[in-house]
C-alpha cells in the first residue's frame, strides 16, 4: 500500500498538475474583445491555451503591481515572439530586493521567482493583483528557461533558471546569479521566459491576444508609458475617448474607498444580446464576476422600473432584452485585495463589491437623470420594444387568422365558381343588404358579405389592433388576404371587390374606411388585382 503513495517536490507537482496553478493546458475558444491596428475594440472569436495566458499574465501582473499598485515606476515594456513563444516583461520600479538571506541561504530575488511560497503580497495587499505567492514561481518551474534581470542599489543582478534536463528530474536547475556593481541609478525588474514544450503540449497563444491585453493596461492607466515590441502604445487620457471616440456612450462611474469601477455602456455594438468585458486591476476577467452580475441585475431592473410611466404613455412595454440588445458593457475596476475563483483569475468573487454598486444605484432619482441625459438611447429602446411587440403581435394574429380561415365566415354568401379571378365580392351594410343579392346573383361568380359592426380606420394602427376588428378579419378571410404577407393570384378568392354601402353619410364613411383598408393593410391585394376595387352605386 505504501508503494502507491508519492511525495512530489513543488517542481514535480507544478509540471505534473499545472492546471491547479495556471489553468487548462488545452486550447480554449471564446468570443472576446480584441483591438485592431487603430486600437478600436472588436468582438472576435479567439483560441488560446489558458495556462499560457496565465503564465504571461503572472509576469505582467507583477510589473503592474509594482508600478500601479505600489506606485513605483512609470514605464512598462512587453515583448512577445509568437514563433518562439518567448515573453519578456520589464518595469522601472524599485527592483526586487537582491539581498542575500543567510537564514534561507539564498538571494531574495532568487527565492521570489523559484519558491512557490515566497512573495510580498501576504500582508495587507492593497490594490495589487498578486494573492498567493505562487504566480511567477509557477511560471519559472513550467518554463524551458527563465531569466530575471534586476537593477537595484547600484547593482545589476542576473540569474537564469532552466528545466531539469532529466524528464524525471525533481528540482529546477538554478544557475549561479551574476551580480555586478554599476554606476547607473537605474532600477527595475525584467523577466524573460519560454514555456516548456514538455509541460505544454500545445503552445497556442496568438500575438493579437497578447497585444490586446497589453493595450488594455495602457488604456486603463494612461499615465503609464506602455511599450509593446518596442513601440509606444498610444492612448487618450480616459478609456471612453481612447476606445469609443465616435460612439454614443453611457458612463457610470462608481467610486468608493476600496472600489472604483467605471462601466461604459456602448449601444449598438454587437449584433446580438449584451456583451460584457471587465478588467480588474489590469486583469481581464473574461468570466465577469460579482461586480458584473450585480451591476447588470440592478441596472436592468432599475431602468425598466424608471421607464414604466413613459411605457404607459407610449403604450409600449420594454423588457430587458430591449435594453441589452447590441449593448457592450465595458468595465474597468480598480480595487483593494481582489479575489478570484482560481489562479487563472477570470472571475472576481469578492461579495462586498455588490454593496458598493447597490449604494451607487440607490442615489435619489439616479435613473430619472440617466433617462433625461440619454434620450437618443432611451428612444431606441422603445423602438426595439415596439418592433418586438409588433413582430410578436403579427405572429400571434397570423396564427389566429389562419385558424379563423378554417371556419366559415359569418354572413358570407360565397361564390362557387372555380375560376376565382372572375369572382366578385359585394361588401354591403349588414346581412339584410346582402340578402337581396341572393335572388339575382350568378352563384358562380357573385358573392356577398354583410358587414358586422364598425370598420376600423387602419391608418397608423399596429397589426394586432387591426386584427382585433372582426369586420376587417371577415373581409380578409373572405378575400384570402393575410396581413404582412404579399397577396398572390393563386391564393386570392375574389378578383373584384364592389363596395355597396348605403347612399348616406354613414355609407360614405364606410366606403372611405374600406378604401383606406385596401390602400394600407390590403395594399398588396390592389397591386395584384389592378382596377379591381369599385364603389357600387
pLDDT of residue 325: 94
Lowest mean pLDDT among 30-39, 113-122, 152-161, 171-180: 113-122
- Residue range 177-184: mean pLDDT, rounded: 96
The pLDDT score that the predictor gives to residue 529 is 47
pLDDT tens track for 431-467: 888 888 888 999 999 999 988 878 888 887 777 777 7
Q: What H or E segment, with its residue span, contains residue 359? A: helix 353-361
User: What is the reported pTM?
Assistant: 0.77
pLDDT band at 223 (very low <50, low <70, confident <90, very high): very high
Mean pLDDT of 495-506: 87
User: Cell 532600477 belongs to which residue?
Assistant: 187
Mean pLDDT (whole number) for 381-401: 75
The answer to whether 224 touches 75, Cβ cutoff 8 Å, is yes
The CATH architecture one would assign to domain 408-535 is: 3-Layer(aba) Sandwich (3.40)
- As a whole number, mean pLDDT of residues 168-181 equals 95
CB neighbours of residue 355 within 10 Å: 12
Strand, helix or coil for residue 435? helix
Separation CA 241–CA 442 (nearest Å): 76
Going by pLDDT thresholds of 50, 70 and 90, the confidence category of residue 310 is very high
- All CATH 3.30.565.10 domain ranges in the chain, comma separated: 2-232
Indicate whether 393 pLDDT > 90: no
What is the reported pLDDT for 452?
A: 80
Provide the residue count of the chain.
Answer: 537
Q: Does 2.60.40.1730 match the CATH number of domain 2-232? A: no
The pLDDT of 253-282, averaged and rounded, is 94
Output the CA angle 155-97-217, nearest 5 degrees.
100
Where residue 62 falls among pLDDT bands split at 50, 70, 90?
very high
- Tell me yes or no: is domain 245-386 CATH 3.30.230.10: yes
Q: Is the pLDDT of residue 125 over 70?
A: no
**Distance, CA of 15 to chain centre:** 35
pLDDT at 402: 64
C-alpha–C-alpha distance, residues 259 and 469, integer Å: 57
Query: Among 69-78, 147-156, 491-500, which is the least confidently predicted range?
Result: 491-500
Cβ neighbour number for residue 349 with a 10 Å cutoff? 13
CB-CB contact of 370 with 377 (8 Å): no
- Please report, for the chain, how many H helices and E strands are present, in that order: 18, 23
Q: What is the pLDDT of residues 70-97, one digit of tens each?
A: 999 999 999 999 999 999 999 999 999 9
Where does the pLDDT of residue 241 fall: very low under 50, low under 70, confident under 90, or very high at 90 and above? very high
- Average pLDDT value for residue range 22-29: 96
Can you read off the three cell numbers belonging to residue 375?
434620450
pLDDT at 113 over 70: yes
> How would residue 295 be classed by pLDDT, with cut points 50, 70 and 90?
very high
Q: Which helix (H) or strand (E) holds 510?
A: helix 505-519
Q: Where in the chain is the domain with CATH 3.30.230.10?
A: 245-386
Residue 241: phi, psi to the nearest 5?
-75, -25
Mean pLDDT, residues 312-320 taken together:
92
* Confidence at residue 380, expressed as pLDDT on a 0 to 100 scale: 94
| Stronger pLDDT, 403 or 177, i.e. the higher one | 177
Cα distance between residue 353 and residue 356, in whole Å: 5
Mean model confidence pLDDT for the chain? 89
pLDDT, residue 517, reads 86
pLDDT greater than 50 at residue 397 = yes
Quick one: DSSP state of residue 105? T
pLDDT, tens digit, for every residue of 344-374? 899 999 999 999 999 999 998 999 999 999 9
Report residue 190 as a C-alpha cell.
525584467
Amino acid at each position: 500500500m505504501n508503494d502507491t503513495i508519492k511525495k512530489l517536490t513543488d517542481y514535480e507537482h507544478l509540471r505534473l498538475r499545472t492546471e491547479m496553478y495556471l489553468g487548462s493546458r488545452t486550447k480554449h475558444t471564446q468570443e472576446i474583445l480584441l483591438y485592431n491596428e487603430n486600437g478600436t475594440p472588436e468582438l472576435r472569436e479567439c483560441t488560446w491555451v489558458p495556462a499560457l495566458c496565465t503564465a504571461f499574465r503572472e509576469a505582467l501582473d507583477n510589473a503592474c503591481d509594482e508600478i500601479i499598485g505600489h506606485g513605483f515606476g512609470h514605464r512598462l515594456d512587453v515583448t512577445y515572439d509568437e514563433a518562439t513563444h518567448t515573453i519578456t516583461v520589464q518595469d522601472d520600479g524599485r527592483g526586487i530586493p537582491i539581498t542575500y538571506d543567510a537564514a534561507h541561504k539564498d538571494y531574495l530575488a532568487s527565492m521570489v521567482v523559484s519558491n512557490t511560497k515566497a512573495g510580498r503580497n501576504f500582508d495587507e495587499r492593497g490594490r495589487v493583483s498578486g494573492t498567493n505567492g505562487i504566480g511567477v514561481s509557477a511560471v519559472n518551474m513550467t518554463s524551458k528557461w527563465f531569466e530575471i534581470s534586476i537593477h537595484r542599489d547600484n547593482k545589476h543582478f542576473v540569474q537564469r533558471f532552466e528545466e531539469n534536463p532529466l524528464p524525471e528530474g525533481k528540482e529546477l536547475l538554478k544557475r549561479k546569479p551574476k551580480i555586478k556593481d554599476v554606476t547607473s541609478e537605474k532600477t527595475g525588474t525584467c523577466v524573460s521566459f519560454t514555456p516548456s514544450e514538455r509541460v505544454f503540449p500545445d503552445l497556442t497563444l496568438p500575438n493579437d491576444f497578447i497585444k490586446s491585453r497589453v493595450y488594455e493596461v495602457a488604456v486603463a492607466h494612461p499615465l503609464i508609458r506602455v511599450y509593446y515590441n518596442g513601440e509606444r502604445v498610444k492612448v487618450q487620457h480616459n478609456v471612453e475617448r481612447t476606445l469609443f471616440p465616435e460612439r454614443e456612450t453611457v458612463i457610470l462611474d462608481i467610486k468608493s474607498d476600496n472600489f472604483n469601477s467605471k462601466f461604459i455602456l456602448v449601444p449598438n455594438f454587437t449584433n446580438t444580446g449584451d456583451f460584457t468585458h471587465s478588467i480588474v486591476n489590469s486583469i481581464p476577467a473574461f468570466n465577469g464576476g460579482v461586480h458584473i452580475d450585480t451591476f447588470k441585475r440592478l441596472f436592468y431592473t432599475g431602468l425598466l422600473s424608471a421607464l414604466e410611466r413613459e411605457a404607459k404613455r407610449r403604450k409600449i412595454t420594454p423588457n430587458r432584452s430591449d435594453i441589452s440588445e447590441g449593448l457592450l458593457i465595458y468595465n474597468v475596476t480598480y480595487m483593494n485585495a481582489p479575489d478570484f475563483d482560481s489562479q487563472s483569475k477570470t472571475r472576481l468573487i469578492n461579495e462586498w463589491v455588490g454593496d458598493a454598486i447597490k449604494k451607487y444605484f440607490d442615489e435619489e432619482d439616479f435613473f430619472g437623470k440617466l433617462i433625461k441625459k440619454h434620450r437618443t438611447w432611451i428612444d431606441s429602446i422603445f423602438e426595439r420594444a415596439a418592433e418586438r411587440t409588433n413582430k410578436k403581435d403579427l405572429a400571434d394574429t397570423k396564427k389566429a387568422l389562419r385558424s379563423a380561415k378554417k371556419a366559415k365566415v359569418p354572413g358570407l354568401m360565397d361564390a362557387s365558381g372555380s375560376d376565382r379571378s372572375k369572382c366578385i365580392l359585394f361588401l354591403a351594410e349588414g346581412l339584410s343588404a346582402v340578402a337581396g343579392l341572393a335572388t339575382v346573383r350568378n352563384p358562380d361568380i357573385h358573392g356577398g358579405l354583410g358587414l358586422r359592426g364598425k370598420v376600423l380606420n387602419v391608418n397608423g394602427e399596429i397589426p394586432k389592433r387591426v386584427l382585433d376588428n372582426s369586420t376587417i378579419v371577415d373581409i380578409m378571410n373572405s378575400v384570402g388576404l393575410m396581413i404582412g404577407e404579399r397577396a398572390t393570384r393563386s391564393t386570392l378568392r375574389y378578383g373584384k371587390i364592389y363596395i355597396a354601402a348605403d347612399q348616406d353619410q354613414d355609407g360614405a364613411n364606410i366606403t372611405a374606411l374600406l378604401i383606406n383598408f385596401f390602400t394600407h393593410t390590403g395594399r398588396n391585394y390592389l397591386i395584384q388585382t389592378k382596377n379591381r376595387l369599385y364603389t357600387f352605386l
